[in-house]
């Protein structure tokens, strides 16, 4: 097994796949990349058993001598590739003992490969339903919802991104019971009604691989009752779905919210960030006092005698209201809205606030709803 490959291309590809390799693997073979050479195409695979990432690279110079597969220790290979500039790299495997030689210019490096026979077999997409969507849509859906998911390992269902498909739209949802994001697209649909929970870590890796390639390609999504598969360009991602029933997120969204607050998103976000510095660092509570022309944002830390208050212009319809929120949650949500203005719908200081982007284009193909639970206001 011999081939020549550009060191930067090699390093970029391996870095994209390396996120699935953990540092505490009890199975030694999982610390390796699996290389397979066939018809001048190098297929590289990495897995943690739950998730598998695959990339294929077309080579100009390659020979399938002796063996065409090998398991390569990931860490040492990544470390040496980081040190090279843009140079050709000669890679060869001894078929007798799987020793690997890497030759770059006047340098020669040898590392011990492993027999690939015990490397986990790639799961195949069987009895699946298939849809195709633009990579940009998938990246937006993941970015807008993943930050709202739970980090609690005891709540596996809420640690993932819920995906719901029907003939009219495609919906992604993330929630941790304190905040919720529903991202809906009307330009993507499925002939079959279906739903499943995507695991957050591999979906995050999928997003990073797409962004790394900087091209808005089509992504083919195939899924069955236990697994989901993503294919685009020279990449393939397979991961196990989160098992369990997702909570009824629609029931958590208050429907009657008579008080409507509209403000400039950037002004609101920058004020929130400044004022929250002075909040109690255990509660991160900020107060919003809504008046007809002015939004007053304030925070205080009684223990350390710190407080802050800012006023920004707004348009407000409804009764004068003061409501408290966790500044971190509110800042995360506003940061993930792209429009110039943002709207918040409110009903009562004890009920959730709903955030929407204010879209000037009424024919927009996406719909974003963000919900954040209030915190009980402490006495002044």
Domain shared by 145 and 202, yes or no: yes
Same domain, yes or no, for 72 and 136?
Answer: no
Question: Is the domain of 230 the same as that of 262?
Answer: no
Question: What pLDDT score does 54 carry?
Answer: 97
Q: What pLDDT score does 215 carry?
A: 77
pLDDT at position 259, please? 97
Q: Which residue has the higher pLDDT, 272 or 22?
A: 272
**What is the overall mean pLDDT for the chain?**
93
CATH of the domain at 322: 3.10.150.10
Q: Does the residue 380 lie in any domain?
A: no
226 lies in the same domain as 113: no
pLDDT per residue as tens digits for the range 259-292: 999 999 999 999 999 999 999 999 999 999 999 9
Q: Domain for residue 103, yes or no? A: yes
In a domain, 46, yes or no: yes
194 shares a domain with 159: yes
- pLDDT at site 360: 66
- Whether residue 144 is found in the same domain as residue 99: no
> Quick one: pLDDT at residue 380?
53
Q: Which of 249, 265, 280 is the last residue of a domain?
A: 249
Q: DSSP per residue over 227-241, as a string?
A: EEEEEETTEEEEEEP
On whether residue 316 sits in a domain, the answer given is yes
For the chain, what is the domain count? 3
Final residue belonging to a domain, choices 89, 118, 147: 118
Is residue 123 situated within a structural domain? no
pLDDT at 94: 94
Domain end point (choices 231, 249, 267)? 249
Same domain for 99 and 143, yes or no, is: no
**What is the rounded CA–CA span in Å between residue 38 and residue 3?**
11
What is the average per-residue pLDDT within 200-222?
Answer: 91
Q: Determine, yes or no, domain membership for 73.
A: yes
pLDDT tens track for 301-359:
988 899 999 999 999 999 999 999 999 999 999 999 999 999 999 999 999 999 999 98
- The answer to which of 43-52, 58-67, 190-199 has the lowest mean pLDDT is 58-67
Q: What confidence tens digit (pLDDT) does each residue in 93-134 have?
A: 999 999 999 999 889 999 999 999 999 998 888 888 999 999
Domain carrying residue 157: 129-179+187-249
User: C-alpha distances in angstroms, 6 versus 58, 60, 109, 233?
Assistant: 11, 11, 16, 19
Sort residue 151 into left (φ over 0), alpha (ψ -120 to 50) or beta.
Answer: alpha
- Compute the radius of gyration of the chain from its Cα atoms: 25
Query: What tokens does 91 get?
Result: 């890679």
* 205 located within any domain: yes
Domain contains 124: no
259 and 369 share one domain: yes
For the four alpha carbons of 288, 259, 376 and 342, in that order, the dihedral sign comes to: negative
Q: Is the model's pLDDT at 379 over the cut of 70? A: no
152 and 56 within one domain? no
Residues 71 and 172 in one domain: no
Q: pTM for this structure?
A: 0.90
| Least confident range of 177-186, 270-279, 283-292, 371-380 | 371-380
The answer on 30 and 84 residing in a single domain is yes
- Same domain, yes or no, for 157 and 213? yes
């Amino acid at each position: 097994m011999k081939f020549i490959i550009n060191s930067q291309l090699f390093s970029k590809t391996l870095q994209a796949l390396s996120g699935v390799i953990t540092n505490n693997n009890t199975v030694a073979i999982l610390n390796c990349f699996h290389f397979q050479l066939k018809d001048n195409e190098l297929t590289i695979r990495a897995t943690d058993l739950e998730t598998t990432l695959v990339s294929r690279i077309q080579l100009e110079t390659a020979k399938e001598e002796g063996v065409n597969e090998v398991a390569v220790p990931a860490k040492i290979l990544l470390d040496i590739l980081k040190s090279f500039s843009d140079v050709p790299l000669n890679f060869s495997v001894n078929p007798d003992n799987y020793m690997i030689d890497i030759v770059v210019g006047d340098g020669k490096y040898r590392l011990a490969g492993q027999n690939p026979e015990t490397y986990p077999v790639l799961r195949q997409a069987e009895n699946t339903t298939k849809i195709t969507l633009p990579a940009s849509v998938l990246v937006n859906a993941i970015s807008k919802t993943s930050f709202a998911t739970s980090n609690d390992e005891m709540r596996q269902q809420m640690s993932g991104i819920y995906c719901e498909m029907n003939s009219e739209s495609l919906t992604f949802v993330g929630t941790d019971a304190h905040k919720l994001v529903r991202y809906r697209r009307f330009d993507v649909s499925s002939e079959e009604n279906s739903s499943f929970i995507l695991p957050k870590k591999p979906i995050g890796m999928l997003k990073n691989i797409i962004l790394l390639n900087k091209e808005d390609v089509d992504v083919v999504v195939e899924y069955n009752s236990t697994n989901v598969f993503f294919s685009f360009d020279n990449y393939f991602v397979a991961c196990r779905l989160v098992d369990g029933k997702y909570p009824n997120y629609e029931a958590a969204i208050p429907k009657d919210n008579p008080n409507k607050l509209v403000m400039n998103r950037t002004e609101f976000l920058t004020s929130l960030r400044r004022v929250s510095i002075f909040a109690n660092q255990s509660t991160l509570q900020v107060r919003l006092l809504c008046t007809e022309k002015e939004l007053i944002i304030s925070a205080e830390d009684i223990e350390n005698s710190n407080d802050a208050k800012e006023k920004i212009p707004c348009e407000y319809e409804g009764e004068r209201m003061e409501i408290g929120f966790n500044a971190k949650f509110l800042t995360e949500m506003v940061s993930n809205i792209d429009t110039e203005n943002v709207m918040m719908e409110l009903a009562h200081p004890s009920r959730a606030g709903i955030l929407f982007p204010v879209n000037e284009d009424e024919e927009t193909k996406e719909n974003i709803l963000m919900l954040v639970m209030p915190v009980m206001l402490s006495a002044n």
